[in-house]
Amino acid sequence: MPLSSLKPKMRPHSSLKQEFLKKWIMGLQRCSFSKKNMSILERKKAIKFSADIAMASARNGTTCWSRSLISNASKEGSDIHVVEQILGSESDRPAVENKVPTRRASVCKKIVKRSCRIRRRRRRRKCVASAPSSIAKHLVRKRREVLKSLIPGGEFMNEICLIEETLDYITSLRVQVDVMRSLASASVRASE
């Protein structure tokens, strides 16, 4: 993907924030309908969950991490109504997209497992290489694996996709943090 195409993904923060906030509050309202008395941890989970889904849906299925996040969320039966609420009118599209990632996900998982198995076998046969380049590669590989575990749906991406998704994920996380922080401070101020 050319660089110029990456930039449109990073929408102006303010519009993204408003969208995120809107969807998040929608989801929270839906959450509060279901249970009246929730412990603090439950509340926290609900808040975080709806925030994540709102963030992912703000991407409208353009990025891999958002799609996998939504598909993972919609797998759990209990909270699926929240997902639907947030996704709202787009429920048709995510439904289709959810199926695709899962199918792809299962295929990709198999491929990844197979390749990991092969890689492990190769590593066992090979003795540890002492060349600096291989050490560097080893380091990078480890870090890449960690990054893959961090990004939702990251296990299925190749390196290029991973970095792109990381870019997008970081921007959306930032937006999420900003909005949550301002909301928290506003509520704190309101409660005083």
Partner 1 sequence: MDNQFFLDAGIPPLHFGSSLSSSLSPVMEIQSQDCFPTDYGLQYESALSSMVSSPASSNGNNMSSESLMMRELIGKLGSVGNSGEILHHSQPMLAAASSSCYSTPLNSPPKLNLPVPKSMGLKSGVADFSADPGFAERAAKFSCFGSRSFNGRRTQFGPKDNGEIAACRFNPPPVNVKLPRVSSSPAMKTLAANCREESTVSEQNPDPGFKGSNSRKRKAVPKAKTNETSPSPSPNSSKVTKLNEASNEKRCKLSKTNGNENGSGKAEEEDANGSNTKAPEPPKDYIHVRARRGQATDSHSLAERVRREKISERMKLLQNLVPGCNKVTGKALMLDEIINYVQSLQRQVEFLSMKLASVNTSLDFNVESLVSKDVFHSNTLQNPIFPVNSSAFLGHQSQQNPPLNSNIANGTMSQCSVDHLDSAISPKLNTHLPQTQINRFIKTVPQNPIFPYPSFCEGDLETLVQMGFGHNQSQEMALHSQNFQGSNQVSDMKVEL
Binding site for partner 1 (CB under 8 A): 1-3, 6, 13-14, 17, 21, 25, 28-29, 31-32, 38, 40-41, 43-48, 51-52, 136, 139-140, 143-144, 146-147, 150-151, 159-160, 163-164, 166-167, 169-171, 173-174, 176-192
Return the number of the residue (100 or 184) whose C-beta is nearest partner 1.
184
66: its two tokens:
């958002």
Return the number of the residue (91 or 182) whose C-beta is nearest partner 1.
182
Return the number of the residue (14 or 130) whose C-beta is nearest partner 1.
14
**Strand locations in 19-141 (E):** none
Return the number of the residue (106 or 185) whose C-beta is nearest partner 1.
185
Q: How far is the CB of 92 from partner 1 (least distance, A)?
A: 28
Q: How far is the CB of 73 from partner 1 (least distance, A)?
A: 15
Return the number of the residue (106 or 145) whose C-beta is nearest partner 1.
145
Listed in sequence order, the DSSP H helices in 126-158 are: 132-150
Distance from the first to the final alpha carbon of the chain: 50
Q: How far is the CB of 185 from partner 1 (least distance, A)?
A: 5
Q: Measured between alpha carbons, how far is residue 112 from residues 67, 145, 191 in Å? A: 19, 12, 50
Q: How far is the CB of 177 from partner 1 (least distance, A)?
A: 5
Contact in structure between 21 and 180 (CB atoms under 8 Å)? no
Contact in structure between 71 and 95 (CB atoms under 8 Å)? no
109-124: b (≥16 Cβ within 10 Å) or e: eeeeeeeeeeeeeeee
Q: How far is the CB of 190 from partner 1 (least distance, A)?
A: 5
Q: Rounded to whole angstroms, how far apart are CA atoms 108 and 67?
A: 15
